[in-house]
Amino acid sequence: MMYDRVGALPASRTDFVLESIKEAILYGKLKPGQALVETDLAATLNVSKTPVREALKTLAGSGLVVMSPYKGATVRTVDAEMASSVYDVRMLMEPEALRRSVALGADFAEARSALDDTSDLARRSLANRRFHRALYAGCGNPLMVQILDGLRDQAALITVAGWGISPTWDAEDAEHRAILVAAEEGFGDAAADLLRRHIQTFADRVVEELPDVVR
């Protein structure tokens, strides 16, 4: 296996391959810029090349993999331009989605559960994804949820890159807890403002520390 699995087993072989490669990328076992050779991945995962090929296409669509007619598939390299684009959209949408979730009386139990699942880097990354999704999932706008879900993989890749430069998860955990308290107590505007500042603080640091766009 290329990594230790976190969470439930996938439902099918195709899902297994997709989640295996995705988590290996997000947890740093497959490095930015690394070539993703179908035959090697198939041998590692003990599957044929077909589910590997399909998984790489899906991961290219979600922004974790880059497909080139000359280089083939490679793990996406995180740069300042990518981080700025992803976090710009999150800044616009995620706080408003949280404000709406609070107004609709959404249940934030999943967000609270995610706060305690941070024993190692792999779990921190997964828990961070769970926490943020739990904040906006109850906003009442399926399209808004779909758009934010579409950014989750790229956001996770940026987060892990940022932690690799400077681990700030203790400060982020405190910010998460303050956001959740405001949301659970029904203060939607305050929760949205705290979330906006949380996203902006991380984005400012990461964009400044990451390299400029890689060609």
pLDDT at 164: 66
In this structure, what are the phi and psi dihedrals at residue 118, rounded to the nearest 5 degrees? -135, 40
Domain boundaries 13-75, corresponding CATH code: 1.10.10.10
**Residue pLDDT tens, the chain, 215 long:** 454 444 444 558 888 999 999 888 887 788 888 999 999 999 999 999 999 999 999 999 888 899 988 888 999 888 888 888 999 999 999 999 999 999 999 999 999 999 876 656 667 777 888 999 999 999 999 999 999 998 988 888 888 777 766 667 778 889 999 999 999 999 999 999 999 999 998 888 877 776 664 43
CATH architecture type of domain 80-209: Up-down Bundle (1.20)
DSSP the chain: --S---SSPPSSHHHHHHHHHHHHHHTTSS-TT-B--HHHHHHHHTS-HHHHHHHHHHHHHHTSEEEETTTEEEEPPP-HHHHHHHHHHHHHHHHHHHHHHHHTT---HHHHHHHT--SSHHHHHHHHHHHHHHHHTTSS-HHHHHHHHHTHHHHHHHHHHHHHHS--HHHHHHHHHHHHHHHHTT-HHHHHHHHHHHHHHHHHHHHHHSPSPP-
d(CA 38, CA 149): 27
Contact of 180 with 112, CB cutoff 8 Å: yes
pTM of the model: 0.77
* All structural domains of the chain with their residue ranges: 13-75, 80-209
d(CA 49, CA 214): 29
Place of tokens 């996770």: 156
d(CA 118, CA 100): 27
Residues with Cβ within 8 Å of 152's Cβ and at least 6 positions away in sequence, in order, are 129, 132, 133
